[in-house]
Amino acid sequence: MSASAAVLKAETKLFAREPGSLFWVLAFPSLLLLGFGLIPKYREIDEGLGGNRIIDFYVPSVVLVALVTASLLSLPGTLTGYRERGILRRMRTTPARLADLLIAQMALHAVAAILGGVLAIAVGRLVWGVALPEQPLAYGVTLLLATLAGLATGSVITALARTAKAAQAVGLAALFPAMFAAGIYVPIQVLPDVVRQIIALLPFGAAAQALNQAASGSWPAWSHLAVLVLWTVVPMVVAARWFRWE
């Protein structure tokens, strides 16, 4: 087995043993959607929303919750914890490259976030009768770009935070505006145009609006996809420049 494969196998086992990360990334989005659906008003057809229900618009937002928690809380907490405990420093004495660990962690969190999102879509369909995305290809492309942008943003926290507690504090501070931009607190469709334009410049805001467009059968606006690409490239450059292994 190559060093890269060995690192991925070991990190997969460790990730599977983290009940906190598994809950917040895999289970919490679906539980949140179940909770929203218990509100009677959210299940009523609203002519002001084009004959849709509020719960229909919440599914894309809840899909992003898995990504928000994975990229802003789980990933930075794990890697800064490794750095704080000297694990990254000790890896230099092994055949494994430190880059293997970073790639493995990002891959695991990306897969977990996508699985959490897919599970939320399934729950929305089976429990609340929410229609599946009418543009599945556009939905998948947007979700992939959003995953890259989210993990890139989380890598900046990992690079700049000196301790696991600092990473957790920064992640929590970023969590609430990210949730607002994703449309968790208030559905994006009922926000004023100016507010929607502002949050469309943020990664999770652009992702939420693009996912809603794909869900309704339209190809996402190229401006939203461009924002996601920008939020992938720039944070990765920053993280690569400032990341510390010790």
Average pLDDT of adjacent 10-residue blocks, the chain of 246 residues: 83 88 91 93 81 89 94 92 86 78 91 94 94 94 96 93 91 94 89 93 96 93 96 93 83
pLDDT score, position 55: 92
pLDDT score, position 87: 84
Cα gap 211→63, rounded to integer Å:
9
Indicate the pTM of the whole model: 0.91
Q: Which stretches within the chain are classed as H helix?
A: 3-16, 19-22, 28-37, 54-69, 75-84, 87-91, 98-128, 136-160, 164-182, 193-199, 203-215, 222-242
For residue 46, what are the β-bridge partners? 52
Please tell me what DSSP assigns to residue 221.
P
What tokens appear for 39 in the block? Answer: 């509100």
Distances (CA, A) of 217 to 128, 139, 199: 20, 9, 22
What tokens appear for 14 in the block? Answer: 């460790």
Q: Which of 128, 150, 130 is nearest to 207 (CA)?
A: 150
Which residue, chain included where needed, has tokens 């939203």? 224
Q: With b meaning 16 or more CB within 10 Å and e meaning fewer, what string describes 162-185?
A: eebeebbebbeebeeebbbbbbbe
Q: List Cβ neighbours of 188 (8 Å cut-off, separation of 6 or more).
A: 57, 61, 196, 199, 205, 208, 209, 212
For residue 45, what are the β-bridge partners? 53
